[in-house]
Every structure is written in structure tokens, then in C-alpha cells.
Amino acid sequence: MSDSSLVQAVDHVALLPAYLAAGTAVLVLLVDLLVARPLATVVTAATGAVATAVGAAVVGSGAERRTFCVGPDCSYVFGGRAALVAALVALLVLGVLALSGPLLRAGNTPVGEYCFLLACSMTGGVVLGAAGDLITLIVAVEVLTLPLYVLVGLRRGSLASAEAAVTFFVVSVVATTLTLLGAALLYAVTGGLHLERLGTLLADEALLDLPLTTVAVTLVVAGLAFKVAAVPFHAWAPATYDGAPLPVAAYLSTASKLGGVIALLAVVRHALPSEVTGPLLAVVAALTMTVGNLVALRQRRTVRLLAWSSVAQAGYILAPLGALALTADADARTAAYAAALAYAVFFVLLELAAFAGVVALRPAGADGGSLDDLRGAARRHPWVGAGLAFALIGLAGLPPGLAGLFAKVTVVRSLLGGGAGWLALVVAINAVIGLAYYLRAAALLYAPAGEVTAPAVRPARAVAVALAVATVVALAVGFAPQIVLDLVGS
């Protein structure tokens, strides 16, 4: 592969997970057209998700693979971390499919389109982790997000759902525009698009001092901050989550949020100068967790509570990156990225479990309802209630939710290792605020039912299985968090 060659050699093995994900989408479409049985469609999508996860794990277990290279710069780098992201997204899609059982059976949602869109979104997530240049990155993020505009609005006859879709669409398009503008400006300043190349180019002091560079970096970061719903770009999230069907809200707050985090990590890690992004992200992280937690305190609707809490959690994920500007030490920086990713992994696991618990306790196809609808639910369904309570406690970061506790510990450790003690204190105080509402929600599950008796619902089997699997995995990584720390560090 020389510079003069016009035909690029393409490493198809590296692309295997992406092929599998895209193939799943096509296959789902065909099965829906030709077989036209909802069950077959869902099974195809689920099988495809499993195949993608396995493919990613297999390819990722080997050495790092690079393809679409121009000289030393490659647009597609599939290493251990990319494999982790790909496998995680695929498994989250599988989990969301399981959560969708009651929704799809209720008959208001077109099954084929639903599964197809989900598989498309999965393709974006799979490519995202491997993106090596800004264009691939932005396209991957868009492929991840685009199907969601439709999925959010899929609840037929629901005005809230349509409103949520429009809000999400408008905000997301604006965010993409910002990122694109930033990328274009960066190209104008440096002449490079590959993340690693940008990193070396921007190490140049003269280039860094240009006001245009700062503007470009700020725009890229701000655009991606929209995707993770970081303050001040968070306002869309609660409305969108609450309007969307429950499984889609689960997808938004897990896989989609993970995608945003990965994109942000990729640009901050490789491309952008940490002198600019560090302080910016520190302030964004502190604001995000504080605002998210404070507003969550006042929520009365279940999904809104989870949405605001997920805003706050994004703050914890971003926090380690805030220490970047202070550390010149390469090891401490790697630790900071690993900490952010580790927190994200712990978080999506617990968040999926929390949504699974809510879906299981609500009637088929219903929205999240108000918190009072969950009153006494754990007395009616001890196992499901315990699972949801466990997930909430884990999100609060307390034993027995050891996964969440270790997530917080990882963040605090990396912050103090990086010398950002003030941010560690902000994280600590926020954990206390967070406990107030997580505890309220969890205690409500065990409260006496009172005079309002919700109709007894039998949790769908697929949902219960998803909840059980997520809970067991959360328990396992709670006792052996080193597994996650090793995976994100590879």
C-alpha cells in the first residue's frame, strides 16, 4: 500500500462487524417484506445483533486492524476499544429489542420498520468506535442518530411522541451542523481530517494560538455535547425521552448516549488540544451533573426522572476528561479516558436495567407514567421490583449496587490522580444530591400501596429476561470490576 497507489487495499476482516450490522438491517427489511411475520423479523434482528457482537469480539481479540489508510493515517481503526464499543452497542440493541416485546405486541408500532431502524442505528454505533477521521466519525454519529428521529415518533396517535420527535430532530440537526462547521474550520486551519494527524498538527503552538482554532474546537465539542445531552445542550433530552416509546427512551439513554460519549472521547483523545478542551469539559461536566441532579429532584414522572438523572450521569462520564488540561503526564491522560469509558460502561448497564424494570412494571405499550404509578410495585412483583431498586441504587453509586459504586470510585480516583480535586468534590457532593431522588424512587417501590391500586400487570417474559441478565451482569462486574477496567484499558 504505497502513496502512489490509486486503489486502496481494504481489510475486510476489520470491517466484518460493520458488515454484520448493516447486513442485519438489510436482512430485517427483506424478512419483513417476504415473510411478513413479526416474530421472524424480531428474531432476525436479535440474531443479527448477537452475530455483530460476536463478530466484534472475535475481530477485536486479535491485533489492531487499520484500513482505508492514506500514508500513516487511517480512517478505520478497529482495536480492542472499538470492539468493546461495537459489542456493547450490539448487545444494547439486543436488550432494547427484548424491552420492545410488549410495545410491538400491542400492535400500534410497525414491527418491520422498528427493527430495521434499530439495526441501522446499530450500524452507526458499530462503526463509530472505529472511526479514524472526523468525516467517518460524524457520518457514524449521524447513522446512529438518524433512525432515532423516526423511532421517537413511532407511537401512533400520540401527540407527545410527535412533539418529542420534532424537538429531537431540530436540536440534533443543529448539533450536527455545529460539529460539521467545527470540522470544516479545523480543516481550514490544519489541512487535516484524520484524528491522530490533527493531534500532531495542533500540537504546534502557533496554530493553537489562532482564535479560529479555539472556535473550531469549541464548535466540535459543543456539537457532540448535544448528543450526550450535556448542559447547556440538554434541554431536548427529558422531553424527548418522555415522549418516546419506553424502549426507544432506553435506547436513547444507553446506546445513543454511549455513541455521543465515544465520539467526544475520540476527538478529545486524539485530535483536539487538551489545553482548550480540558477546562471547557471540566465546566461542562460540573454544570451537567449539578443541573441534572437538581432538576431531577423535582421530577414526578418516571421517565423524566430517569432522563434528568441520565443528564447528570453524563456529567460524571465527562468529569475525568475535565482533568486533562492539568496533567501533562501521558499515563494520567490515558487513565482519564479509560475512567470515562469505564464509567460509561457501568452506567449503560445499570441504565438498561432501570429501564427494563420500568417497562416490566408498566402495562404493555404504556408510557413511563408518574412515579406514583410505581408505588408499592415491589410488593406486587418482588423480583422485578428488586431488580429496578438495585439498578436505581447502582445509579446512585451505593452498595449493594457495587457496579455503580466502583464507577464513581473510578472517576474520583482519576480526578484526584489528575490533580482536579475540586471536580472530585463536585462529583462527591452530586452523589449526595443524586441519592435523594434515587432513594425516593427506590423507597416508593417498597412503600405501602395506599388507596391507589395500579392494575396488576404480568411482566412480559422477554423484558424480565433482559432485566435479569442486566442485573446479573451488573452484579458480576460489581464484584469483579477489574474486568471492565481491563477492557477499557486495552
Q: Is 104 in the site for other proteins (CB under 8 A)?
A: no
CB of 102 or CB of 434, closer to other proteins: 434
How far apart (Å, rounded) are the C-alpha atoms in residues 308 and 310?
Answer: 5
Question: Which listed residue (424, 463, 467, 470) binds other proteins by CB under 8 A?
Answer: 424
Q: Which of 165, 179, 145 is nearest to 256 (CA)?
A: 145
Total binding residues for other proteins by CB under 8 A?
34
> At its nearest, how many Å lie between other proteins and the CB of residue 481?
5
Q: Is 429 in the site for other proteins (CB under 8 A)?
A: yes
Q: Is 309 in the site for other proteins (CB under 8 A)?
A: no
CB of 223 or CB of 481, closer to other proteins: 481
- Residues 126 to 185: which contact other proteins by CB under 8 A? none
**Near other proteins by CB under 8 A, which window of 8-16, 24-32, 60-68, 410-418?**
410-418
Name every residue whose Cβ is closer than 8 Å to that of residue 409 and which is 6 or more positions away in sequence.
none
Q: Is 400 in the site for other proteins (CB under 8 A)?
A: yes
Return the sign of the alpha-carbon dihedral for residues 310, 311, 316, 320.
positive
Question: Which listed residue (70, 364, 439, 468) binds other proteins by CB under 8 A?
Answer: 439
**Near other proteins by CB under 8 A, which window of 31-39, 171-179, 420-428, 462-470?**
420-428
Question: Which listed residue (76, 285, 406, 445) binds other proteins by CB under 8 A?
Answer: 406
Check residue 172 and report its DSSP letter.
Answer: H
CB of 409 or CB of 454, closer to other proteins: 409
**Near other proteins by CB under 8 A, which window of 13-21, 278-286, 322-330, 411-419?**
411-419
CA distances to 29, 362, 436 from 443, rounded to whole Å, are: 44, 18, 10
Q: Where are the alpha helices (DSSP H) in 74-131?
A: 80-99, 101-105, 111-128
How far apart (Å, rounded) are the C-alpha atoms in residues 224 and 262?
Answer: 10
Name every residue whose Cβ is closer than 8 Å to that of residue 480 and which is 6 or more positions away in sequence.
none
How far apart (Å, rounded) are the C-alpha atoms in residues 327 and 325?
Answer: 6
Contact 397, 405 (CB under 8 A): yes
**Near other proteins by CB under 8 A, which window of 43-51, 120-128, 236-244, 432-440?**
432-440
How far apart (Å, rounded) are the C-alpha atoms in residues 382 and 376?
Answer: 10
How far apart (Å, rounded) are the C-alpha atoms in residues 43 and 232?
Answer: 40
- Residues 458 to 487: which contact other proteins by CB under 8 A? 480-482, 485-486
Q: Is 93 in the site for other proteins (CB under 8 A)?
A: no
Q: Which of 425, 406, 306 is nearest to 359 (CA)?
A: 306
Question: Which listed residue (26, 425, 454, 468) binds other proteins by CB under 8 A?
Answer: 425
How far apart (Å, rounded) are the C-alpha atoms in residues 241 and 184?
Answer: 31
CB of 98 or CB of 405, closer to other proteins: 405
Hey, what's the cell of 205? 503552538
Hey, what's the cell of 168? 429531537
Q: Is 329 in the site for other proteins (CB under 8 A)?
A: no
Place of cell 392494575: 455
- φ, ψ of residue 72 in degrees (nearest 5): -80, -10
Q: Is 409 in the site for other proteins (CB under 8 A)?
A: yes
Q: Is 382 in the site for other proteins (CB under 8 A)?
A: no
Q: Is 358 in the site for other proteins (CB under 8 A)?
A: no
Return the sign of the alpha-carbon dihedral for residues 264, 266, 269, 271.
negative
> At its nearest, how many Å lie between other proteins and the CB of residue 81?
15
Question: Which listed residue (25, 92, 228, 435) binds other proteins by CB under 8 A?
Answer: 435
Question: Which listed residue (279, 363, 365, 489) binds other proteins by CB under 8 A?
Answer: 489
Residue 336: count of CB within 10 angstroms of its CB: 29
Question: Which listed residue (446, 457, 465, 490) binds other proteins by CB under 8 A?
Answer: 446
Question: Which listed residue (416, 465, 469, 473) binds other proteins by CB under 8 A?
Answer: 416
Hey, what's the cell of 269? 483523545
Q: Which residues bind other proteins (CB under 8 A)?
A: 393, 398-400, 405-406, 408-410, 412-413, 416-417, 421, 424-425, 428-429, 431-432, 435-436, 439-440, 443, 446-448, 480-482, 485-486, 489
